[in-house]
Chain A
Amino acid sequence: MAQLSIEGNTVKKKNSSSLFIRFLKQWEIQLMVLPGLILIFIFSYIPMYGVLTGFKDYNIIKGFVASPWVGFKHFELFFNSPDFSRVMRNTVLLSLLKFVIGFPAPILLALMLNEVKNMYFKRIVQTVSYLPYFLSWVIVAGFFTSMLATDNGSVNIALEKANLIDQPINFLSISNYFWTILITANVWKDIGFASIVYLAAIAGVDPHMYEAAEMDGASRLKQMFLITLPSIMPVVIIFMILAVGNLLNAGFEDILLLGVNPLLRDVSDVIDTYVYRVGIQNGRYAYATAVGLFKGIISVGMLVIANYLARRSGNSLW
């Protein structure tokens, strides 16, 4: 190490060729990062440049370069299309719902698990609740469609046995139920896994505080709200800020798989699924790229806001 830096200093006195020589001398480690950089360039940066497709009349035969520029045509098309208001409404409301319900749920679970003193019970609940995170959305959607099916779906059977309904309900074809089902599926899948970090934060709380609170006669519920929750607040805030930057992601796989029924399109179409349907299924590449870019720009705006919030709370992201 020391030798290297001395060498670096002596060469620095010479002129510009020194950098090149130093570069050659460390070819071994440069070779380690080179393949990675090339792959990142190809699979991340070329698509970023490819975003310009949204400003062209892309023709798959002519290719990217030869296709003519058309400015903001596709953006205007999107803003004026009847799809716009529907897609935007679903995207914004669904992502907000996911945030409002999906964000506190794992915190609540962690708080509850913390009150469980029986280690076996705690471990069983944790093991079971982590598991869905490791399943693909295909499987999760499969479980949900099976549970909600009209023929022998357990939910309909239970509702019929409880005399709440006479006829089985075809849940996945009625638009009123779709958002509830989608949010439930998301919480079901992620709640356990997301609670891990909060549980770790709770484990770091000084036990003396609980002892002191107990002396003062605080109930368990009070301890939960006056000691545990405030103690993990810094972690909660960091994750909340990260979630703000993610706020326009209303979902993709979950909606694609649970919203299969075309009857649901009014409530299930979000920007990402719209881009997929219009772009890949209908082949309107330029238009779909423009729509995707529109979302990207708003997302970056959200990120800047998130970072601003982060700075103010002293947890800057960059």
Chain B
Amino acid sequence: MKRLGYGDRTMVIIIYILLMMLAFTTFYPFWNAFIISFNEGKDTALGGVTFWPRQWTWENYETVFKDKRLIGAFSITVLRTVVGTITSIFATSIFAYGMTHKELIGRNYYMVICIITLYFGGGLIPTYLLIRGLGLDNSFWVYIIPSLISVWNMIIFRTFFNSLPDGLQESAKIDGCGSWGTYFRIVLPLSGPVVATLALFTAVYHWNEWFLPSIYVTNEDLIPIQTLLKQVLNTNIVTANTSSLDTASLAILGKMQSITSKSLSMAIMMVATLPIVCIYPFLQKYFVKGVLVGSLKE
């Protein structure tokens, strides 16, 4: 090992300090929300709960898991994530596989049609009017159908499929496999990494998406957890200023005795976050690769 010069050592120390500060400021909000979710509500309101819970309690979580509306929202989110991810990955990859065929008539036109949508769009209001016109509002399918095909993912799939050796598919054809057979028996099984990456991103999208339901869905049984959380948080923020309170969220908060809105919303926040926090370290190596595949396609 070479010894670093004086200037170099100072620089390295400064960099370590800056990175530690970054890691701390990134991690601390999680930690703070986490411990507040385990701290007794009234005690939290006294202030000063910063690093450790002062009055440990499960009460916040008990309240959360007893609330029918929250359990419903959680189940809808899980259902939406599972169904949305599987259908979207299938639809998009089949579409992409079709597009890899060089003999496909109209292939270049199809590609132009796809690319245009990356740069132009109708915007919020025409889309809103369309979805309502189709009668998709207040239906579970509004979560699934409009996001079935992602052009970005199609391009990434296509790039990956193109990199598979041609010989494999040709021999499958010679052995009597049609295009569908080749897709299911050869192409899909060989596409593990790209399917995993895109499935992760699609799943994260479905898990986190809250805006769609907030404008299309009024049926409370269909509201996912992020949208519900948004309503609860907004109630807390706005209480002081306006009277436009969401009565449904107040109903949840109204049950509180020793539980305050803050401690409860932290618990809901943890319930909405932890699934991602838990799977994420296992998937890190995939998405780092996946991001690179995605960025190289240009």
Which residues of A approach B to under 8 Å, CB–CB?
A: 1, 4-5, 8, 19, 22-23, 26, 28-33, 35-37, 39-51, 53, 64, 109, 112-113, 115-116, 121, 124-125, 127-132, 134-139, 141-147, 149, 151-152, 154, 157, 172-173, 188, 191-193, 196-197, 200, 219-221, 238, 245, 253, 256-257, 260-263, 272, 275-276, 279-280, 285, 288-289, 292-293, 295-296, 300, 303, 315, 317-318
Instruction: Closest B residue to A192 by CB, please name it.
Output: B26
Count residues of B near A (Cβ-Cβ below 8 Å): 104
Partner of B8 from the list A31, A47, A151, A219 (CB cut-off 8 Å) is: A219
Binding-face segment, B41-49, B63-71, B189-197, B247-255 = B41-49
B26 lies within 8 A of A128 (CB): yes
Q: Contacts of B125 on A, CB cut-off 8 Å?
A: 50, 53, 275, 279-280, 285, 288-289, 292
Which residues of A sit under 8 angstroms from B81, Cβ to Cβ? Answer: none
In the complex, are the beta carbons of A47 and B121 less than 8 A apart?
A: yes
State the main secondary structure of chain A at its contact with B: helix
**In the docked arrangement, what's the CA distance between A44 and B110, Å?**
14
> Nearest CB to that of A281 among chain B residues?
B215
Q: Is B168's beta carbon under 8 Å from chain A?
A: no
- A145 to B180: give the CA distance in the assembly, Å: 51
Provide the residues of chain B in CB contact with A30, threshold 8 Å: 98, 104-105
Which A-chain residue is minimally distant from B291 (CB atoms)? A196
Q: Contacts A154-B32, A219-B5, A280-B128 given; indicate if A29 touches B121 (C-beta within 8 A).
A: no
* Contact (Cβ within 8 A) B103 A272: no
Does the CB pair A40–B12 fall under 8 Å?
Answer: no
Q: Which has the most chain B C-beta neighbours within 10 Å: A33, A275, A292?
A: A33
A138 and B23: CB pair below 8 A? no
Q: Are A28 and B281 in contact (CB under 8 A)?
A: no
Interfacial residues, chain B to chain A (CB-CB below 8 A): 4-5, 7-8, 11-12, 15-16, 18-20, 22-23, 25-30, 32-33, 36, 44-50, 91-92, 94-95, 97-99, 101, 103-105, 110, 113-115, 117, 119-130, 134, 145-146, 148-149, 151, 154, 166, 170, 178-180, 183, 204, 207-211, 215, 226-227, 229-230, 233-234, 236-238, 241-242, 262, 265-266, 269, 272-273, 276-277, 280-281, 284, 288, 291-292, 295, 298
Hey, which chain B residues are within 8 Å of A109, CB to CB?
Answer: 22
A113 pairs with B45, CB closer than 8 A: no
Which residue of chain B is the closest to A194 with respect to CB atoms?
B291
Residues of B within 8 A of A261 (CB): 237-238, 241
Contact A1:B170 (CB < 8 A) given known A146-B32, A197-B295 = yes
Apart from A37-B110, A135-B276: 8 A-B pairs, beta carbons within 8 A: A32-B180, A152-B48, A172-B237, A191-B22, A220-B8, A262-B242, A292-B126, A315-B298
Partner of A197, one of B50, B204, B291: B291
Q: Is the CB of B291 within 8 A of A29?
A: no
User: Contacts A53-B129, A116-B16 given: A142-B49 contact, CB under 8 Å?
Assistant: no
CB-CB under 8 A from A35, the residues of chain B are 91, 94-95
Q: A116-B15, A147-B32 are in contact. Are A50 and B126 (CB under 8 A)?
A: yes
Please tell me if the beta carbons of A4 and B103 are within 8 angstroms of each other in the complex.
yes
Q: Which of A19, A40, A139 contacts B117 (CB 8 A)?
A: A40
On chain B, the residues within 8 Å of A40 by CB distance are: 113-114, 117, 149, 151
Choice from B29, B262, B291 contacting A152 with Cβ under 8 Å: B262
